[in-house]
Structure 1
């Protein structure tokens, strides 16, 4: 299992670690209008899934903005940002930040995504920072569990992986 810290202290991740080559685990999260969203809803597309602890913090804000900017160059890649923020807060933040290329999704209800992808932080009920690329056949082609949850992911590597996925 990935070893993650949050502000320097170790945390416990719930669920199974996802690895390159795995079939992407199914999940159910909530869109900003409270409708359920699953992995199957984007079947046949490449997905870049950006996972953040809370959209209202500096690094999470920067991460979501960076992948929003990259969405244009990624073309037919669906960019998703998952956090445990309430859907209403995600919608408000996106409107204020001008985020239109990334779909923000909430895992607050039951941590379905967090446990399926091994990013649910037991002690904080937040998600650890991570990036996953899932190809059009639902195979995981890129994984980054950021070892310190307050650090940035490797944006360039994730974007290149999304471009290379089919």
Structure 2
């Protein structure tokens, strides 16, 4: 179990992020058009998983904007922004913000992503939502970088994630 905070108050997740060097766990999530998308669809690409509690918070929205701008410009790279928000809310946000360089995915149907990646909160006001985290996966499906942001209201370390992409 990982411990992070929300404005200084401790929250627990069900476990720890996948280890660097391990195979990224498979997932199937819902796209904004309600179709399913999976990690298998991105074989041969570098993948950034931008995981967060809700697009309707300032920090989560900023992480999508930042990755839309920066990582989406990299060759052979896709950024998957993952939360439990309904696909309708994700689509509304992207439309209003002009976000088109990332793929928004929802874990709302069965919550298996949060469990498989061990980022689901188990207690506190964010219980069952996803902990703010970054996972970088190389072209071979191997985890090359992870970050679980220790304070939920803080942004991830974009620079470290982008550097990991360059090295992957």
Q: TM-score w.r.t. structure 1 length? A: 0.94
Aligned length: 165
Q: Does the residue aligned with 1:4 lie in a helix, a strand or coil?
A: strand
Partner of 1:145: 148
Q: Distance in 2 between matches of 1:61 and 1:145?
A: 17
- Measured in 1, the distance between the counterparts of 2:72 and 2:115 equals 30
List aligned pairs for 1:35-46, cutoff 5 A: 35-46=35-46
- Compute the displacement of 1:73 (Å): 3.0
Which 5+ residue runs of structure 1 have no aligned equivalent?
A: none
Alignment partner of 1:154 out of 142, 153, 157: 157
What is the alpha-carbon distance in structure 2 between the residues aligned to residue 30 and residue 122 of structure 1?
22
Q: Check conservation: 1:74, 1:159, Cα contact below 8 A.
A: no
Secondary structure at 1:11 match in 2: strand
**Cα offset, 1:2, TM superposition:** 2.8
| TM-score, normalised with respect to structure 2 | 0.93
Tell me, yes or no, if the aligned pair for 2:72 and 2:78 is still in contact at 8 Å. Answer: no
* CA–CA separation in structure 2 for the residues paired with 1:146 and 1:16: 12
Q: CA–CA distance in 1 between the matches of 2:98 and 2:167?
A: 27
Give the equivalent residue in structure 2 for 1:118: 118
Q: Which aligned pairs between 1:1-166 and structure 2 lie closer than 5 A?
A: 1-123=1-123, 124-165=127-168
Gaps of 5+ in 2: none
RMSD: 1.3
Q: Is the 8 A contact 2:132 2:152 kept in 1?
A: yes
